Amino acid sequence: MENQPRTLHPSQSYGENEIREIPLSSLPAGKTGVVCQLEGGKEFTARVACLGFTLGAQVTVLQNYGRGPMIVSLLGAHIALGRGEARRIQVQPL
Amino acid sequence: MNGQNPAVTIALVGQPNVGKSTVFNALTGQSQYVSNWPGKTCECQMGYFDFEGETICLVDLPGTYSLSASSVEERMAREFIIEHSPDVLLVILDAACLERNLYLVAELLCLPVPLVLGINRMDLAAAQEIHIEPQVLEAAIRVPVVPLIAQRGEGIEALIAAALQTAHHSAAWQPNRPIIRQDHQEVLLQIEGMIRKQVRAPYSSDWMAMKLLEGDGVVTETMKERLGADWEGVHALLIQHDDAFLAVAGGRYDWINRMVRAAVVRPRSGQVTVTDRIDRYATHPLWGLLILMAVMAGLFGFTFSLGIPLQGWLEEQVIQAAADSVPVLLSGSPNWLVGLSANGIIGGVGTLLTLLPILILFFTGMGLLEGVGYMARAAFVMDRWMHPLGLHGKSFLPLSFGVGCNVPAVMESRIIEEPTARLITILLTPMVPCFPRLSVVVLLAPIFFGGRAFAVCLLLFGLPLTFLVIFGKAFHELFQGGKHNAFIMELPLYQPPDWSAILKSVGQRVVDFLKGAGSVILVISVGLWALSYFPGGDINSSYLALWGHRLDPLGSLIGLDWRMAVALITSMLRSENTITTLAVLYGVGQDHLNFTEALTGQVLPAAALAFLAMQLLFIPCIATMAAIRNESKSWGWSLGYAGLRLVTSITVGILIYQGSRLFQWGG
C-alpha cells in the first residue's frame, strides 16, 4: 500500500495520446514538465505535495547537471531537491 | 500574563523567512514586556503594545509551512490557534512567492479564527516584475489584504487597523474557503459523519475528518482512542483512500490558483532575475564550492580577527583583574574561599565571558548569511558531500565552524529542521577539534618529537576526522536505519539584510545560551576547582591527584602517569588548561625549569603520542557539553556522548601505546 504510485486521476490526463512520462531528474534545465505521478510513500508524497508538487502542477527545471541535487521553479519559488527525490516525481514534458 | 489585561490577542503566523520577526519587532519595539509564552514546547515570543487606546497582546508563532503534525512547530502553532483561540491571526506572506505562502492560508481558513493577510516585501516583488493587486485578492478570498514593506515600516499601521476591525466584527467573517478535490468530497463527508459524536470543542468535525484523510499522526491517534471499536470502519475507509493527501493538497492549490488568477501577474518565464544571475555561480558545482570556501574564510576571518583580540582583552583586563583583586578584597578569609572565588567562580564566569565575543560575532555573520538568503545555497552546494554521513548540506556549516569553536557550532545545528539529523549534527560537530585543542598538540609535539613534530601533528589531526566519519556512519545506521531524509528546500530570493532582526536574534541566542549553559558551566567549574584543591590545598595532594593515582593501572596501559590523566580532566574546563596543568604538575618554574626542559625526557614517545591522541578525542570542554545539553534538550544524550568520547579516547590511547611498543617504536 505504502509504496503504490499515486497517479493522475483518469479524468485529468493530458492529451489524447499517452505522452511519455519521465522522472523529473531526467528533465534537462530550461524544460517544463507537468507532475503526473508521485512515488515513494505517504510521508514523501505529503511533504512534496505541501510544497506544490501536486498532480497537474507545472515544474520548470532551472539547474540539472546530471548528478547531484537540482533546482526547479514551482509556483514562482525556487526549490532545491536531491536527485533521489527528483527521481520519485514523474512528469510529462511539455 | 504579567498582570496586563489585553483587550485583543493577535497571533502572528507565516511560513519561515517571510519577515514575520520584522513585523513583530516593528510592533513591539517600544514594548516594555516581551517574553516567552508559557508552554512546554512553546518557544514563541509575545509582546504588548497599544494601538488607538487598546492594549494588544501579540504572540509570534513559529514559522510553519503548513499545519500538519510533522514538526513540533507546526503542532504547536495549530494547537495554540485552536485551543487558545486568539481574536485574530495576522498572516504574513512573501509577495515574491505568494502562491506557496497561500498554502498555509488555505489551511488556516479551515480553523475557526478570523485572519488578516499582510503581503510583505512588495518592493522586492515589484523589482522582480511581479505585480500584485491586494484589493483583487481581498475580493477573491474575502479577507482583508494589506500590502507591506515591513523593513521600512510601511503598511504596519494599516495591518493592525485591519486586524482590530476584523477582531471586532468576527461574526461577519465569511471567507472563501478551499475544498477538497471532487473525487474525495464524498469520503470526507462519510468520515465526518462517522466521527462527529467523538469530536470535542474547540475542534470541529470537518477539520478532524480532513486531517484524518491527510494521514495526520496526532489526529489519527486521538480519534483511534476515542472511537474504540468504531475506529475499524473509519480505518478501512482511510486505507481505501490512502492517496487522499494529494486530493487535499491538490484542492488547496486549485483554490490558490483561483484566488491569484486575477490578482497576480508574473513576468514571462525566461526572464533572468538578479537571483538567477547570482545563482548561476553560487549554486554551480565548482564555482559554488569556491564561493562557499571564500564565504567561510570571510566568516572565520571576521569572527576571529575581531574575536581573539577581544577575548585577550577580556582575559587580561577583566578576568585577570577580577581574580587578582580577590585576595585583596577577601584578605583575612580562609585560603579556600579565596581559591574558590578566584579560580572556581571567576574561572567559570570567565569561561562564559570570553566566549561572548566569538558567539556574538559568529551569530552576526551567520545571521547575515541567512538574512541575505545565501545559507540555503551553501547547504545546496555541500549536499552531495554530506550524504555519506547521512546528513544534508545544512550540517556542513556547523561542522566546518567547529574548527573555530565548538560552542557556537553546536548551537548553529538548529538550522536543521529534521530532529534526527539535528541530533546527529549536534553529536558530530564536537568531533571537529577546535583551535585551542589543536594548539595544545602543536605546542607539545615539538617537545616530545623534535624534528618529527610536523608529521606527528598531521597524523594526529587526521585522527578525530577519521572518528567523525566513523561516528557519522554509525549514527546514521543507528538513528536513521541508513535511510536518507528527503532533501527538499526552498532557495529564497536574495535580499538586503534586515539588521534589526539579525541583531535581535543574535541577542536572543546569546541570552538563551547564558541561561541554558551558564549554570552548568559554573557548577562544573566550581566542582573541578574543588577537586583540584581539597583536601590538601594544592593540586599535588588533591582529590584529583588521588584519583589520578588510582588510575595508574589504566595509565600504565597507556604509559602515562597520573599527571597526564589530571591534565586531561582539567582540559574539560578549557582545552588550553592541558598546558597549564602540566606546567604546575611537572614543576615548571621550580629550579628555573622552563616548560620544555621540565617535560623533556619525562614521557616516552609512544606514551606522548597516545597522550596527544587522547587529548584530541577526550570529552569536549564543558562549554561545548553545556551547548550539547542545551540544543539536544537531553541529559541522556549529553552524558552518553561524554561517555562515548571517554571510552574512545582511552581505547585509542591504549591501542597507540601498545601498538607502538609491539612494533618496537618509541618504547
pLDDT tens digit sequence for B590-639: 666 677 777 777 778 888 899 999 989 999 988 899 899 988 888 999 99
Q: How far is B553 from chain A (nearest CA, A)?
A: 52
Q: Crossing angle of helices B375-386/B287-313, nearest 10°?
A: 110
**pLDDT value at residue B246:** 85
**pLDDT value at residue B94:** 92
Handedness of CA B402, B408, B412, B413 (dihedral sign): positive
**pLDDT value at residue A75:** 85
Classify each residue of B79-95 as buried b or exposed e, where b means 16 or more C-beta atoms within 10 Å of its C-beta.
bbbbeeebbbbbbbbbb
Name chain A contacts of B393, Cβ cutoff 8 Å: 69
Mean pLDDT computed over B637-649: 93
Of B211, B175, B172, which Cα lies nearest the Cα of B191? B211
Classify each residue of B103-117 as buried b or exposed e, where b means 16 or more C-beta atoms within 10 Å of its C-beta.
bbbbbbbbbebbbbb
Name chain B contacts of A42, Cβ cutoff 8 Å: 215, 242, 245
Residue from A50, A63, A85 to probe the interface with B (highest B Cβ count within 10 Å): A50
Report CA Rg, chain B.
30
Of B87, B85, B23, which Cα lies nearest the Cα of B60? B23
Q: How far is B50 from chain A (nearest CA, A)?
A: 36
Q: Which residues of B touch A (CB under 8 A)?
A: 65-66, 68, 70, 96-100, 103, 130, 183, 214-215, 239, 242-243, 245-246, 249-250, 253, 266, 269, 275-276, 279, 283, 285, 376, 379-380, 383-384, 393, 484, 486-493
Query: Which has the minimum average pLDDT: B260-264, B298-302, B601-605?
Result: B601-605
Q: Model confidence over B508-564: pLDDT tens digits?
A: 888 878 887 787 778 877 887 788 778 877 777 788 788 878 888 888 888 887 888
Question: Which segment, B141-145, B240-244, B604-608, is predicted with the most confidence on average?
Answer: B141-145
Bond preceding residue A69 cis, omega within 30 of 0: no
Q: What is the DSSP letter of B81?
A: I
Place of cell 534538550: B633
Classify each residue of B510-549 as buried b or exposed e, where b means 16 or more C-beta atoms within 10 Å of its C-beta.
beebbebbbebbbebbbebbbbbbeeeeebeebebbeebe
Q: Crossing angle of helices B98-108/B244-260, nearest 10°?
A: 120
Q: Model confidence over B67-116: pLDDT tens digits?
A: 887 777 788 888 889 888 899 999 999 998 899 899 999 999 988 899 99
Query: Which has the minimum average pLDDT: B51-65, B203-217, B596-610?
Result: B596-610
Mean pLDDT computed over B406-431: 87
Q: What is the pTM of this model?
A: 0.79
Q: How far apart are CA A80 and CA A68, in angstroms?
A: 11
Instruction: Compute the mean pLDDT over every residue in chain B, rounded to the nearest whole number.
Output: 85
Q: Hey, are the CB atoms on B250 and A46 less than 8 Å from each other?
A: no
Using 50, 70 and 90 to split pLDDT, how confident is the model at A10? very low
Using 50, 70 and 90 to split pLDDT, how confident is the model at B389? confident
Residue from B184, B377, B489, B495 to probe the interface with A (highest A Cβ count within 10 Å): B489
Dihedrals phi, psi of B54, to nearest 5 degrees: -110, 140
**pLDDT value at residue A18:** 58
Higher pLDDT, B100 or B6: B100
Name chain B contacts of A52, Cβ cutoff 8 Å: 99-100, 103, 253
- B285 closest CB neighbour out of A62, A68, A81: A68
Using 50, 70 and 90 to split pLDDT, how confident is the model at A1? very low
- A80 closest CB neighbour out of B70, B100, B489: B489
Using 50, 70 and 90 to split pLDDT, how confident is the model at A90? very high
**pLDDT value at residue B632:** 87
Bond preceding residue B408 cis, omega within 30 of 0: no
- B99 closest CB neighbour out of A9, A46, A76: A76
CB atoms within 10 A of CB B257: 14
Percent of chain B with pLDDT over 90: 24
Helix (H, G, I), strand (E, B) or coil at B88: strand
**pLDDT value at residue B12:** 93
Q: How long a stretch of residues is chain B? A: 667
Give, rounded to a whole angstrom, the gap between the first and last alpha carbons of chain A: 30
Per DSSP bridges, beta strands B115-120 and B145-147 are: parallel
Q: Model confidence over A25-69: pLDDT tens digits?
A: 999 999 999 999 888 777 788 888 888 899 899 999 999 998 888
Whether residue B137 has pLDDT greater than 80: yes
Closest residue of chain B to A59, computed from CA coordinates: B269
CA dihedral B505, B385, B631, B368 (to 10 degrees): -10
Own/partner contacts of B36-41, CB < 8 Å, gap of 24 or more, are B37/B80, B39/B76, B39/B80, B41/B72, B41/B75, B41/B76
Using 50, 70 and 90 to split pLDDT, how confident is the model at B170? confident
What are the respective helix, strand and coil percentages of chain B, to the nearest 5? 70, 10, 25
Higher pLDDT, B487 or B619: B619
Classify B228 in phi/psi space as left (phi over 0), alpha (psi -120 to 50) or beta: left
**pLDDT value at residue A6:** 53
Higher pLDDT, B480 or B248: B248
Higher pLDDT, B209 or B587: B209
